Structure 1
Amino acid sequence: MSNLSVALLNYNGKTHLENFLPSVVQFSTGHDVIVIDNGSTDGSVEFVKTNFPSVRLITYSKNYGFCGGYNKALKELDHEFVVLLNTDVQVSEGWISPILKLMESDSSLAAVQPKILDLKKQTHFEYAGASGGYLDILGYPFCRGRVFHTIEEDQNQYQETQDVFWASGASLFVRRSAYFEAGGLDEDFFAHMEEIDLCWRFWNLGYKVKVCPESVVYHLGGGTLDKSSPRKTYLNFRNGLTILLKNEITSDLFWKFPIRLFLDWLAIVQFSILSGLPHGLAIIRAHFDFMRSIPSQIKKRKSVKRLSQNNPRYTGLVIWDYFIRQKKTYQKINP
Structure 2
Amino acid sequence: MSEMKNDSRERVAIVILNWNGKEMMRRFLPSVIQYSKDEAVVWVADNASTDGSMEMLAREFPQVRTLVLDKNYGFAEGYNRALKQITADYYVLLNSDVEVTHHWLTPLIEYLDVHPDTAAVQPKLLSEKNKYAFEYAGASGGYIDRYGYPFCRGRIFDSVERDNGQYDYPTQVTWATGACLMIRSKDYWMAGGLDGRFFAHCEEIDLCWRLVWRGRHIVCYPESTVYHVGGGTLPKGNPMKTFLNFRNSLTMLYKNLPDKDLRHVMRVRWFLDYLAAWQMLLLQGHWGDFRAVFRARHAFHKWRHEFDKDREEMRKNRIAGAPDGRESFSILWQYYAKGVKTFSQLPQESSL
Q: TM-score range by the shorter chain?
A: over 0.9
Partner SS, residue 88 of structure 2: coil
Match of 1:205 in 2: 214
| Residue correspondence of structure 1 range 118-197 to structure 2 within 5 A | 118-197=127-206
1:26 lines up with 2:40 in the alignment: no
- Choose which of 54, 57, 61 in structure 2 pairs with 1:48: 57
- Choose which of 14, 20, 23 in structure 2 pairs with 1:12: 20
1:285 lines up with 2:295 in the alignment: yes
| Residue correspondence of structure 1 range 105-120 to structure 2 within 5 A | 105-120=114-129
1:213 and 1:56 mapped to 2: Cα distance? Answer: 28
1:298 and 1:107 mapped to 2: Cα distance? Answer: 31
Match of 2:339 in 1: 326
Aligned residue type for 2:318: R
Partner SS, residue 112 of structure 1: strand
Aligned residue type for 2:53: S
Aligned residue type for 1:146: R
Measured after TM superposition, the shift of residue 323 of structure 1 is 0.3
The TM-score normalised by the length of structure 2 is 0.93
Measured after TM superposition, the shift of residue 275 of structure 1 is 5.9
Partner SS, residue 17 of structure 1: helix
1:48 and 1:307 mapped to 2: Cα distance? Answer: 44
Measured after TM superposition, the shift of residue 311 of structure 1 is 5.3
Measured after TM superposition, the shift of residue 152 of structure 1 is 0.4
- Please list every run of at least 4 consecutive aligned residues from structure 1 whose deviation after the TM superposition is greater than 6 angstroms: none
Aligned residue type for 2:11: N
Partner SS, residue 124 of structure 2: strand
- Choose which of 282, 305, 308 in structure 2 pairs with 1:298: 308
Aligned residue type for 1:307: I
1:314 lines up with 2:322 in the alignment: no
The TM-score normalised by the length of structure 1 is 0.97
2:154 and 2:47 mapped to 1: Cα distance? Answer: 32
Match of 2:226 in 1: 217
Match of 2:110 in 1: 101
CA contact (8 A) 2:280 2:289 kept: yes
CA contact (8 A) 2:154 2:342 kept: yes
Equivalent pairs counted in the alignment come to 335
CA contact (8 A) 2:10 2:87 kept: no
Identical-pair percentage: 45
CA contact (8 A) 2:212 2:325 kept: no
Measured after TM superposition, the shift of residue 173 of structure 1 is 0.6
CA contact (8 A) 2:13 2:43 kept: yes
CA contact (8 A) 1:165 1:311 kept: no
Measured after TM superposition, the shift of residue 295 of structure 1 is 1.3
Measured after TM superposition, the shift of residue 312 of structure 1 is 5.5
Structure 2 stretches lacking a partner, 5+ long? 1-8
Aligned residue type for 2:27: N
Aligned residue type for 2:319: L
CA contact (8 A) 1:163 1:312 kept: no
Partner SS, residue 76 of structure 1: coil
CA contact (8 A) 2:148 2:326 kept: no
| Structure 1 range deviating more: 128-137 or 230-239 | 230-239
Partner SS, residue 295 of structure 1: helix
Match of 1:81 in 2: 90
Aligned residue type for 1:220: V
2:107 and 2:191 mapped to 1: Cα distance? Answer: 24
Structure 1 stretches lacking a partner, 5+ long? none
